[in-house]
Amino acid sequence: MGVLRPRRRGAGAPAILVALGAIAALGCGRDAAVQRLLTGPGGRLDPIYDATLTYPGTTIILGGLPYTGVEIEVELEFADATLRDPDPAYAATARVHRVSAGGVDQPFQVEGPLDVQGTLADGTLTTGLFGPIRVGAADLLPDLQGAVQDAARHVAGVARLYGSNEAGSFVAVKRRRYLVAGTDRQGPFGKVAVITVRDDTQFSVEDDIEVISSDPVARVEDGRPLVINRYNFDNLQGLDPSSGLQTSFQYSLGNGANPHDAVILPSAPAAAPAGLAFVTRYEPPYNDVAVMDLEDGSIVDHVDLTPYARNPDHLPRADQALLHDGLLYVTMEDTDLSFTRFMNGRVVVIDPILRQPIDVIDLAGQNPFEALEYSQATGLIYVGLAGIFPGRLAQALTGGIEVIDPATRQARLLVDDDALGGNVSALALHSADRGYCVVSDASFHNYVKAFDPTTGEVLGTVFDSASEIAALAADGDGYLLIGENDFFAPRTLILDAATGLSVVSLPARLPPFSYAILTRSL
């Protein structure tokens, strides 16, 4: 049986939607009308930077005593829409977390979140004056101007205070945030958690943010956090960043559809703000990519993949979706109803504007499974192929890691699963010379192995566990996230993606099942 997770059984089972802690039946069979349970697509994620402002020569008087050296810690949340438009002016909100003077934390007063009206142009960020921040009898109004550095991970420059001739300095660090879809698969519910990293080193976890299904896939598309609720749930759930990631919509994909992945066409703030979602529907009779209008949840079109399936039951088993350079790449597992006849995997290339396939890429291996990534460093698309997991069929190492050149749409084998020693079930790419994959052996012992995305050389094991490793992700900023689903002690293990060395282990309330990167940059 070519599956690692319980997601594909019971094609005729009724769909269930998890909404705000309640279960709502979807209707009567496969032809039930698409229903809109909640109202609206919600907002997009805002970039957040944590800034430290330092004024070593500034003296303030507190209780009649002079305190020299002022430091202010402030959070800057930039309004996404004002960064997307061509105008260099932006709007942001500043929240002050700490003020120290003379090396001592001081009480301060701020009249709510502070409005910031600045500019971002040619790699230079300005804030203009914002405040006041009252410390004792002093009203501090900072004014920042700095250079965006290190692929927008940091901003650094000059910090001034209104009314003072002495200039200080500031460093702002992009806040990293990760969406965690957690589930123990023991009931109908899972929960969303968020991992936050401040100043690259301060880790925190917020659990139980929102209810999701027990078979969830987390995604961030066009700045929108999503959860694809798969087997027996059959819906797309949107999470609204402006309301603390509470559910903003939940749309049915059709009873028994078993959606597996979704991408959203990017849109400007003023035009088509909701966007179109392309969702792979795994089970018959759907066998397609559904086109959903996120404004109202209606399925406005679909791309039939049945003609491209070669197994006896003509089931494409559409799994992963990737939007690259204006085209949609969709993996097909191409296996029959009983999961006993596997053809070699295929990737269908779809023009999302025409909503029709324009090419089919044949793969050398079997069972492309939950692993489809594009690497900007190499310019290649990476496909993880599981081969056959032991179960209904004997284990077969007929997969590995293949790469597709988007320019030629030709595939080639990069890493043979014989060299990896097991079935591949996840991929994460860090750089042109460092990638990672999850490998499961015949006894379902799991390994995270490093490989070279350019040469295909297997670089060794960085982590292994007798427990399931259900989630793997690179955050794009140097960290690798590993979800270890130990029943008694589930956790997220974070490694330095450049070296494979451990950074931190974060206990999880529910086993991490899927990650999506919430981090946004300027």
Query: Which ranges of 312-454 would DSSP assign to H, the alpha helix?
Result: 417-420
Residues, the chain: 522
Mean pLDDT on 397-406 = 98
What DSSP element (H or E) covers 376?
Answer: none
pLDDT-derived band at 397 (thresholds 50, 70, 90) equals very high
pLDDT value of position 8: 38
With b for 16 or more beta-carbon neighbours within 10 A and e for fewer, the 459-493 pattern comes to eeebbeeebbbbbbbbbbbbbbbbbbbeeeebbbb
What are the start and end residues of each CATH 2.120.10.30 domain in the chain?
305-466
Name the CA radius of gyration of the chain, rounded.
25
pLDDT-derived band at 186 (thresholds 50, 70, 90) equals confident
* Tokens representing residue 221 in the block: 């598309």
Cα separation, 169 vs 158, in Å, equals 4
* Tokens representing residue 505 in the block: 């282990």
Cα separation, 342 vs 459, in Å, equals 30
Cα separation, 437 vs 439, in Å, equals 6
Residue 189 three-state SS: strand
Angle in degrees, CA 29, 34, 35, rounded to 5: 110
What DSSP element (H or E) covers 28?
Answer: none
Q: Please spell the DSSP secondary structure of 292-315, one letter per residue.
A: EETTT--EEEEEE-GGG--STT--
Q: For a pLDDT cut of 90, what percent of the chain falls above it?
A: 86
Instruction: Say if residues 314 and 326 touch (Cβ distance below 8 Å).
Output: no
What is each CA distance from 371 to 246, 287, 374, 385, 426, in whole angstroms?
28, 19, 10, 8, 5
Tell me the pLDDT tens digit for each residue of 10-64.
333 333 333 333 333 333 232 333 334 555 677 899 999 999 999 999 999 999 9
Which of 459, 503, 510 has the alpha carbon at shortest distance from 481?
503
Cα separation, 455 vs 415, in Å, equals 9
> Is 133 a residue whose pLDDT tops 70?
yes
> Is 427 a residue whose pLDDT tops 70?
yes
* Tokens representing residue 17 in the block: 């939607």
Q: Please spell the DSSP secondary structure of 245-295, one letter per residue.
A: SEEEEEEE--TT--EEEEEE----SSSSSS-EEEEEE-STTT-EEEEEETT
Cα separation, 287 vs 51, in Å, equals 49
Q: For a pLDDT cut of 70, what percent of the chain falls above it?
A: 91
Tell me the pLDDT tens digit for each residue of 438-494.
999 999 999 999 999 999 999 999 999 999 999 999 999 999 999 999 989 999 999
Cis ω on the peptide bond leading into residue 142 (within 30° of 0)? Answer: no
Cα separation, 23 vs 16, in Å, equals 7
What is each CA distance from 35 to 12, 38, 128, in whole angstroms?
18, 9, 47
Q: Please spell the DSSP secondary structure of 135-163, one letter per residue.
A: ETTEEE-EEEEEEEETTTTEEEEEEEETT
Instruction: Say if residues 137 and 157 touch (Cβ distance below 8 Å).
Output: no
User: What one-character DSSP code corresponds to residue 388?
Assistant: B
Half-sphere exposure of 220 (CA within 13 A, CB side): 20
What is each CA distance from 447 to 37, 264, 320, 402, 431, in whole angstroms?
40, 32, 22, 19, 20
Pick the CATH number of 305-466 from 2.120.10.30, 1.25.40.10, 1.10.580.10, 3.30.479.20: 2.120.10.30
**φ/ψ of residue 418, rounded to 5:** -65, -35
Cα separation, 496 vs 503, in Å, equals 6
CATH superfamily of 48-174: Quinohemoprotein amine dehydrogenase alpha subunit, domain 2 (2.40.128.120)
pLDDT value of position 165: 87
> Is 316 a residue whose pLDDT tops 70?
yes
Mean residue pLDDT of the chain comes to 91
What DSSP element (H or E) covers 183?
Answer: none
What are the start and end residues of each CATH 2.40.128.120 domain in the chain?
48-174
pLDDT value of position 268: 54
User: What one-character DSSP code corresponds to residue 416?
Assistant: E
Q: How far, in whole angstroms, is CA 27 from its chain's centroid?
A: 31
